[in-house]
Amino acid sequence: MIRVRRLMAIARVVFRYRLDTLLDKSKTPWPLRLMLSPAVLWGKPKASRGERLRKALESLGPIFVKLGQLLSTRPDLVPADICSELAHLQDNVAPFDSDTFRQIVEDALGDSVDEIFLSFEKEPLASASVAQVHAAVLKDGSDVVVKAVRPNIEKTIGKDIALMYTLARLLAKFSQDGRRLRPVEVIADYEQVIYDELNLQAEGANASLLRHNFEGSPLLYVPKINWDYSNEKVLVMERIYGTPVTNIADLEEAGIDFKLLAERGVEIFFTQVFEHNFFHADMHPGNIFVDTSNPRKPSYIGIDCAIMGSLSKEDQYYMARNLIAIFQRDYRKVAELHIRSGWVPKTTPVNEFTGAIRAVCEPIFQRPLNEISLGHMLISLFTTARRFDMEVQPSLVLLQKTLLNIEGLGRQLYPQLDLWTTAKPFLDRWLKERYSPKSLFKQFKQLVPDWLEQLPEIPPLIYSALKTAQQTAENQPKTAVVAVPETKTQPLRRLIPWISAAAVGVGFGLAVASWTESLAQVPVTSLTLVGVGLLVLLLR
């Protein structure tokens, strides 16, 4: 009964804001048109489609607001005008009762607020769809902020997500646009994101690692987490004092170097993605502040690390190569990289795919470089690749979303920002260092422990394989001796000296690597591999 009432409430909001007009009637099957037909009773829509969708989500409550925030970051699925309007949903949620917030904190920490804090502000600093933040001062005088999850939100999320899945399946089944937008996948992505955000301890761990990655860096500062008063339900962290990055007038008054600030934003993005492989994937303006204490060398302050992203080593490599190839206008290389990476099927015709990529990218390059949006270019590229059965990985979607945020922010701060001029030296340096002798030796040393674990198993395996081969040869039926240039076993026998030499060489290599790491047990084990090589020679 509760689910039916909620469904009716959703239907009334859909009708009121004429969300039926968001669908293409010519592509919408008659059962769905019939279900939405009562909407005409509310008259013709007066506001834009983006504004109507935003207001509808606001009317449906925090869970749907969070869905709108997620959709605002999916320009690969949602038109630009709707994305722009949904972006207004960030941190624009009515706060819940302060006494309830206080009770949540006390239940989570097992003590009264008066015992834990020297002072505790009743009015919230900020209120979002999942959590709320209040300022406080610890007994030692430290200024902190206290973040707590909204009360009973888990039950509300469970009920609303169940309804969202139902609506998404109906949309996917009865609407051609619905199948294209993949609503069920969007809801599944949303479900994972919002449940992850309910665990504030995970958010604190993300912030702690991001802080460690930029320790001592002039680029980004991340508030310190106070783990003595933090858990899954409550997060206590250092309070930061900075200027919101969107307050351009305040930044101008402070005398900020906007060109350097914009370029540092780009450098932070590429450093996170390619050096740390751990990037803040929710860097909308509400989560970014500027330290104006040194206007000539401004730095960023980042908060709210609930959503983080990372790439596989392969995706890191192929993304860097793709970006370089795109700006070199080597479209065949872009096509080949997509195929080699597995982003599109191996059977994709290279020439046809190259032509499709050229048709997308070449018109863009007719503009000045400081007007080219790398983020939108990636979206266009991925959209084209879908014609060739490309399945975009969630990590790549997070990457392009973050790039769009950084690029948009950078251009807002400094309209002449040439993203490529800032990014290319970084990518060139990263690719060069990736295959430098120092980097390769580092990777080799990282593999040594795994190899050592498997080394004791190698001698009996080789001995068993050789014995099996010898027994198989002895059990072959006897035939008349025929003079032939080479028997089937001779090629294998010719490889034995090379196998033994390789075993000896790798064994000594492991010993050298281990001695540089002062691992006493490794030289002995590496000699086992040397013994393998000698054993192979003896069995020969």
Q: What number of CA atoms fall less than 13 Å from residue 287's CA on the CB side?
A: 20
327, part of any domain = yes
487, part of any domain = no
Query: Which one is predicted more confidently, 408 or 144?
Result: 144
Q: Give the residue among 70, 142, 104, 95 at the shortest CA–CA distance from 235.
A: 104
pLDDT 10s digits, 87-146: 777 655 678 899 999 999 999 999 999 999 999 999 999 887 788 999 999 999 999 999
Query: What pTM does this model have?
Result: 0.71
Question: Residue 117: enclosing H or E segment and its boundaries?
Answer: strand 117-120
**Contact criterion met (CB below 8 Å) for 53 and 19:** yes
Residues 397 and 460 in one domain: no
**Contact criterion met (CB below 8 Å) for 11 and 35:** no
219, part of any domain = no
- Of 225-229, 260-264, 361-365, where does mean pLDDT reach its minimum? 361-365
Average pLDDT along the chain: 80
pLDDT 10s digits, 28-56: 666 767 777 888 788 888 889 889 998 88
Joined together, the tokens standing for residue 117 give 């804090």
Q: Which residue type is seen at 389?
A: D
Residues 24 and 173 in one domain: yes
- Per the structure, the count of domains in the chain is 3
Residues 314 and 375 in one domain: yes
**Contact criterion met (CB below 8 Å) for 323 and 337:** no
Question: Residue 119: enclosing H or E segment and its boundaries?
Answer: strand 117-120
At residue 392, the pLDDT reads 63
Residues 265 and 383 in one domain: yes
- What residues act catalytically? 282
Residues 413 and 442 in one domain: no
Residues 75 and 27 in one domain: yes
Q: Which domain holds residue 505?
A: 438-467+492-539
Band of residue 1 on the pLDDT scale cut at 50, 70, 90: low
Can you tell me the distance from the alpha carbon of 369 to that of 364, in angstroms, rounded to the nearest whole number?
9
Can you tell me the distance from the alpha carbon of 373 to that of 364, in angstroms, rounded to the nearest whole number?
9
Residues 64 and 32 in one domain: yes
At residue 524, the pLDDT reads 43
At residue 178, the pLDDT reads 60
Can you tell me the distance from the alpha carbon of 122 to that of 99, in angstroms, rounded to the nearest whole number?
8
176, part of any domain = yes
Residues 363 and 411 in one domain: yes
At residue 397, the pLDDT reads 75
At residue 217, the pLDDT reads 94
At residue 446, the pLDDT reads 64
pLDDT 10s digits, 327-367: 889 999 999 999 998 888 899 999 999 999 999 899 888 88
**Contact criterion met (CB below 8 Å) for 225 and 208:** yes
Can you tell me the distance from the alpha carbon of 19 to that of 36, in angstroms, rounded to the nearest whole number?
9
Query: Which one is predicted more confidently, 407 or 24?
Result: 407
Residues 30 and 178 in one domain: yes
- Of 186-200, 292-306, 430-444, where does mean pLDDT reach its minimum? 430-444
Can you tell me the distance from the alpha carbon of 73 to that of 288, in angstroms, rounded to the nearest whole number?
16
Other beta carbons within 10 Å of 531: 16
Residue 288: alpha-carbon gap to chain centroid: 18
Can you tell me the distance from the alpha carbon of 321 to that of 205, in angstroms, rounded to the nearest whole number?
31
Can you tell me the distance from the alpha carbon of 92 to that of 90, in angstroms, rounded to the nearest whole number?
5
Can you tell me the distance from the alpha carbon of 531 to that of 508, in angstroms, rounded to the nearest whole number?
11
478, part of any domain = no
Can you tell me the distance from the alpha carbon of 246 to that of 229, in angstroms, rounded to the nearest whole number?
31
CB neighbour list of residue 167: distance below 8 Å, 6 or more residues apart: 10, 183
Band of residue 375 on the pLDDT scale cut at 50, 70, 90: confident
pLDDT 10s digits, 454-463: 767 777 777 6
Beta strands in 222-342 (DSSP E): 234-238, 243-244, 279-280, 288-291, 299-302, 308-309
Distances (CA, A) of 472 to 46, 442, 482, 536, 537: 84, 43, 20, 18, 20
Band of residue 156 on the pLDDT scale cut at 50, 70, 90: confident
> How much is the average pLDDT of 220-242?
95
247, part of any domain = no
